[in-house]
Structure 1
């Protein structure tokens, strides 16, 4: 039996994939396709679905995010793990969402170098004059501002390859940072 936190983690990863996939879709390209010869052969219901799919997908992901906010791992009065939303150790809501998303083969997409750069750049606010170098390792990417300055001297960013989550780290040598990040992933650090 999976715990509430295990179900929550699986659903969170899959919701992130759904949202990221929708956000990466270009609505202008979809509209352009629908007016080109390939798109004009579609029936009106299919065209409407494609036209609205990005917005609907984002709305569904937002609803699931809200559900995850309510049904999140917590502790009961005795310190045992439970769902904060329903108070049970095996949350039916999270289990059901986990099972449905698995049945539809929604799996985390690995983050690539370009996506790691985009996330790090967005985190830093896209400040002009802050070029980034992205260093790849098995579990993710290390983003370092490549010019000396206040930001570059204070912290580094690690973008997780599986989830795309971004964490801040002190400036450390690469091998030490990788070792520390692995301990962090395993809950040791």
Structure 2
């Protein structure tokens, strides 16, 4: 696939992941309680809202299967192609991306709890829980293991607020780090 098509795969993946994450975070018991307590919806709307979490999870799982088939690959003669359809421009992903954009499905921002979860997973490397310090700034979260190694040249992990991407950084004053990260994001 060409660079824009590879980007399309990434964008679709981010949108699908955002919808799936929103559905997984929804409290089905709270939704059900609200529907029962208020009772202001017609039966069809009540049934739809009651099953919306399950519906979103099913649709995003199906779209994940599409993404697994229509992913970037290399052509034998060089250059990028879609592994699913063998073309340089994947009409399937472009179509899915346009539909998700039309319905304003956007990647959800990462909150402090999610930044902590990602940093804890990263720093623990599967060895068990690690105390993590999280500091918030406009573009993301600066995280560090509370008992981190002092000889690590990049002991800080930044979790991007918009995408959730992780990047390692050296110890810098907080305001300098926030400014440098803003420059880093702008250059990408």
What TM-score, normalized to structure 2? Answer: 0.78
User: Does the residue aligned with 2:87 lie in a helix, a strand or coil?
Assistant: coil
1:160 aligns with 2:181: no
Unaligned runs of 5+ in 2: none
CA contact (8 A) 1:116 1:159 kept: yes
Structure 1 moving runs of 4+ over 6 Å: none
Deviation at residue 122 of structure 1 after TM alignment: 5.0
CA contact (8 A) 2:5 2:90 kept: yes
The answer for the alignment partner of 2:24 in structure 1 is: 23
Deviation at residue 165 of structure 1 after TM alignment: 3.4
CA contact (8 A) 2:119 2:159 kept: yes
Name the CA shift for 1:95/1:2 in 2 (closer, same or farther; >3 Å).
farther
The answer for the alignment partner of 1:182 in structure 2 is: 184
Pairs within 5 Å for 1:1-189: 3-36=4-37, 38=38, 40-121=39-120, 124=124, 127=128, 130-146=130-146, 148=147, 152-153=148-149, 156-166=156-166, 169=168, 172-174=170-172, 182=184, 186=188
1:98-120 deviations in whole A, cap 9, x for unaligned?
Answer: 11001111112222323312333
Separation in structure 1 between the aligned mates of residue 118 and residue 138 of structure 2, nearest angstrom: 18
RMSD between aligned residues: 2.9
Name the CA shift for 1:64/1:166 in 2 (closer, same or farther; >3 Å).
farther
Length, aligned pairs only: 175
Unaligned runs of 5+ in 1: none
What TM-score, normalized to structure 1? Answer: 0.78
